[in-house]
Amino acid sequence: MSASGPVQQAIASLPVPAEWTWEVVVRPRRRSLGIEVAPDGGVLFAVPAGADARAVADAVRSRLPRLAVEVRRRRERTAEPVKELVGGTGFAYLGRRHRLKVVPAGAARAVRLYRGWLELARQDTVEEGSRRIAEWYTERGDRWLAARAAPLATRIGVTATEVVARDIGHRWGACAIAGPITVHWAVMQLPPALVDLVLVHELCHMREPGHGPAFRREVRLALPGADERERWFAEEELRLWRGAVR
């Protein structure tokens, strides 16, 4: 939904760098400002219906320094990883690397982790092979994330009705006000400590929708060493494969 003119104008009046690409959208289910940075550095300001333009501008102004760092980092990042679906190509699962083994078509399962190898039944196209591997990460993620999130949710004091792995574009996690929590299937390539970071981030949004000081406190209370994990995540996310093949 397009944003109202006053909100758009209020943000435009701020010292937002001229080279930034940004837009404002209204999301009626939101209760506070949300800011999303796309992989190419574009910025999306998501505001509740009927948001006060001055309050939104003040919130954006307070976050501009940190936002500038994130935009610059995204613009300087390397291109999205692309893989060849040939024997020996490396794929990570929960922080451990496995080499790909292409097996004859018609295998019992299209993809499986077997004796340290990630086996892929030969497909008609590399795109189909990519889809099959993404499905494998998704199925694994659905089971692993749900079990992992339960004790974290208890620690935070919330109840996650459902936790699933899906392709959610450039975001790594998403949370509706009453659930479910969705995690990008590509996150399953990360070590458990970093998957926990994504889960805690979204679970804390069930208590604090925004990214202000109260939200930061919730994350740090729920996850020891959260700041260090965030720096680690910033390095590792550049290596996450999201399905691009050649």
Q: How many CB atoms lie within 10 A of CB 192?
A: 13
Predicted pLDDT of residue 75: 80
Residue after which a domain boundary falls, among 46, 76, 106: 76
Residue 190 has pLDDT above 70, yes or no: yes
pLDDT band of 4, cuts 50, 70, 90 = low
Q: How many CB atoms lie within 10 A of CB 93?
A: 17
Q: Which domain holds residue 184?
A: 90-239
Tokens, residue 28: 């009626």
- Residue 84 placed within a domain: no
- Residue 129 placed within a domain: yes
Q: Is the peptide bond before 65 cis (omega within 30 degrees of 0)?
A: no
The per-residue pLDDT of the chain, averaged, comes to 91
Using a cut of 0.85, tell me whether the model's pTM lies above it.
no
Whether residues 123 and 72 fall in one domain = no
Whether residues 41 and 122 fall in one domain = no
- Residue 148 placed within a domain: yes
- Residue 11 placed within a domain: yes
CB 183 within 8 A of CB 203: no
Q: What is the mean pLDDT of residues 70-78?
A: 78
Whether residues 206 and 105 fall in one domain = yes
20-34, 92-106, 153-167: least confident range = 20-34
Nearest residue to 136 via CA among 189, 214, 200: 189
Predicted pLDDT of residue 212: 79
- Residue 244 placed within a domain: no
- Residue 81 placed within a domain: no
Whether residues 131 and 44 fall in one domain = no
Residue 178 has pLDDT above 70, yes or no: no
Residue after which a domain boundary falls, among 47, 76, 105: 76
Whether residues 108 and 203 fall in one domain = yes
CB 98 within 8 A of CB 113: yes
CB 181 within 8 A of CB 152: no
